[in-house]
Structure 1
Amino acid sequence: MKHMKKISLAAMMSVAVIMPSLAETRITYKSAKTTSSYYQMAVQISEAMKAGTEGEIIVTVEESQGSVQNVMEVRARGGDYVFTTPPALVRLAKAGKAMFEGKGDPKFNEIRALFPIPSLTMHFVVSSESGVTSFAGLEGKKILLGKGSFGAKEGAKYLKLFGLESKVELANVELSNAVPALKNGQIDGFVTAGSWPAPNVIEAAASTGVHVLSLSNDQIKASKRSELTIPAGTYAGQENDITTTSLPVVAYTTTAMDDDTAYSLTKTYWEQKEKMGVSAAWWNGVDKGLMANIEGQIHPGAVRYYVEKGYSLTDAQK
């Protein structure tokens, strides 16, 4: 009998050890390259989820080579998969267009949004010494666009749209060297895209003195991107708001995720956002206004949270 009691006690202790792990919900969050600010955001979200749910949701961050890869992996992933991408890529995937042509999959139609994260924000940065205060002033100047990134492609597009394509000298310098190149006068300015405030722009503004160009209403319209305002005081020496463009970025999952998990992820994200903003200012640019950037349907579990909180959702989002 004593032997049986020992076995029972051992079994109970075993169950007690196992139970906490059974209560955990494990999520894979696929974001960006480890060198990207979006990877840092993913790590912050992972930490926020653990803290906000007292360990009930554990998020593992995976490095990604880009948003297209994130969308493509939907085909082989399950209900524990969360990824980030601009809404436009989800639309293209569902339609089987552009980079998704010939690679369509029924699972693309199961993609659902959870919440917006900081947008890719265009920064046209020029040194104070250059005297440039508008796009017209870039003529004859040496500008660094970088290579291969969204910011580089978008920057080249804007130079062409604004009649500057052959009037600006493009610097053959890596974007990672933009700030030193600006300091020593190798370049007059650089173009970068990322969440705001952008770390390289903060560094340049604090050490060199810069002016970040604003776009006019006509220029924003020509760009076919979303308008975004960077408030005055965001960067050292910035006395006025900066009007620029952005590419929205959203965290998505699929209908394979259960409603309760989607609800908890969304609820915890918004409840922890203010705390995240204390350590990383880019979270302070996220508010209810970015909900309008979500195209198509939001996951039913996330919808439940937004309805509870009185968020205004479109019929398409529901």
Structure 2
Amino acid sequence: MINSAVLAGLGLAASVILTSGVQAETRITYKSAKAGSSYYQMGVELAEAMKSGTNGEIIVTVEESQGSVQNVMEARGRGGDYVFTTPPALVASAQGAKGPFDGKGSPKFDDIRALFPIPSLTMHFVVSKAAGVEDLSGLEGKTLLLGKGSFGATEGEKYLKLFGLEGKVTLAEVELSNAVPALKNGQIDGFVTAGSWPAPNVVEAAASADVSVLSLSDAQVAETKRTRTVIPAGTYAGQDQDIVTTSLAVVAYSTLAMDEDTAYQLTKTFWETKAKLSESARWWAGVDQGLMGTIEGKIHPGALRYYKEAGFPLTDAQQ
């Protein structure tokens, strides 16, 4: 018969084992975009990669977001388990209490630190081949769908102004979600969308309609003041040449509330599993060391440790 002292010892041992298991598991909340969007799907893929790449030591829960401004704003009240995505310019705006953060500044914004880049928001000008459009100037007199409220819509509108097309293009009153059917039935000649490449709605358009994705000249790219981006030939059905376009960087961030070891492990695991991620979802193929230059501001000390070990290019401002 087992006496009470032995039972107490067994209970203590079990308690130590359970407690050790809890301590070994780090839980992270990853806040990115609306459910159903490509960036939400990326979060799901990243969560799976983190779990697999750390043998379950890091568990990531993907949390729906209404957009990058909300993601940055929540950094004021979140703890060390918070990772979020946003274009770097919004972090600078928050730290300077400018733009959408005017009158909403907080010292906690100064603690935001970068971890790693994720697929960029890449501009796509998709047109029906029947429209006979070869470049952006050929959009004059055509009907174009920009959508509303998205980065792609505001950026597309900006490009029409930059390149002398304002008032010379008919803007369709159609939701972007209906772009492909509208293109196929001739309601529009083309649409503008921004997303990681390959963009799901462009894949759908290329597979079901005869379309082209327009390139920008290097001079036009320079005029936009965005990052020059090349979408490789063969990314979309019927695309036999590289597409030169522009993009807006998107980066995964945390804050100094996250401990250095966790930031190190997150960053190390991301880069070490990126090749596998790219095999299952091609948009990760667009992330490489070249995107490190798009990270404005400081990198988290834990992530910095990994980048120095791995020999990544870094600027003085990032360190």
TM bin (shorter chain) = over 0.9
2:190 is matched with which residue? 189
2:149 is matched with which residue? 148
1:259 is matched with which residue? 260
1:89 is matched with which residue? 90
Q: Distance in 2 between matches of 1:7 and 1:100?
A: 56
The Cα of 1:6 is off from its aligned counterpart by 2.0
Q: Distance in 2 between matches of 1:6 and 1:150?
A: 63
TM-score for the superposition, normalised by structure 1 = 0.98
Q: What's the secondary structure of 1:165's corresponding residue?
A: coil
Q: What's the secondary structure of 2:193's corresponding residue?
A: strand
* 1:276 counterpart letter in structure 2: L
1:30 is matched with which residue? 31
The Cα of 1:19 is off from its aligned counterpart by 2.4
1:244-265: per-residue Cα shift (whole Å, max 9, x none)?
A: 0100000001111111000000
The Cα of 1:55 is off from its aligned counterpart by 0.7
Q: Distance in 2 between matches of 1:165 and 1:202?
A: 28
The Cα of 1:127 is off from its aligned counterpart by 0.8
1:20 is matched with which residue? 21
1:257-303: per-residue Cα shift (whole Å, max 9, x none)?
A: 11100000000000111111111100011100000100111011111
2:241 is matched with which residue? 240
2:296 is matched with which residue? 295
Q: Are 1:63 and 2:64 counterparts?
A: yes
1:139-198: per-residue Cα shift (whole Å, max 9, x none)?
A: 111111111101011111111111111111111111111111111111110000000010
* 2:71 counterpart letter in structure 1: N
* 2:203 counterpart letter in structure 1: I
* 1:223 counterpart letter in structure 2: T
Q: Are 1:75 and 2:81 counterparts?
A: no
Q: What's the secondary structure of 2:317's corresponding residue?
A: coil
The Cα of 1:36 is off from its aligned counterpart by 1.3
Q: Distance in 2 between matches of 1:14 and 1:108?
A: 39
Q: What's the secondary structure of 1:316's corresponding residue?
A: helix
The Cα of 1:10 is off from its aligned counterpart by 2.8
Q: Are 1:123 and 2:124 counterparts?
A: yes
Q: Distance in 2 between matches of 1:315 and 1:154?
A: 30
The Cα of 1:35 is off from its aligned counterpart by 2.2
Q: Distance in 2 between matches of 1:215 and 1:261?
A: 41
Aligned residues, how many?
318
Identity of aligned residues (%): 70
Q: Distance in 2 between matches of 1:299 and 1:13?
A: 37
Q: Distance in 1 between matches of 2:266 and 2:137?
A: 46
2:8 is matched with which residue? 7
Q: Distance in 2 between matches of 1:85 and 1:64?
A: 11
Q: Distance in 2 between matches of 1:278 and 1:220?
A: 29
* 2:290 counterpart letter in structure 1: G
Q: Distance in 2 between matches of 1:60 and 1:206?
A: 33
Q: Distance in 1 between matches of 2:8 and 2:98?
A: 62
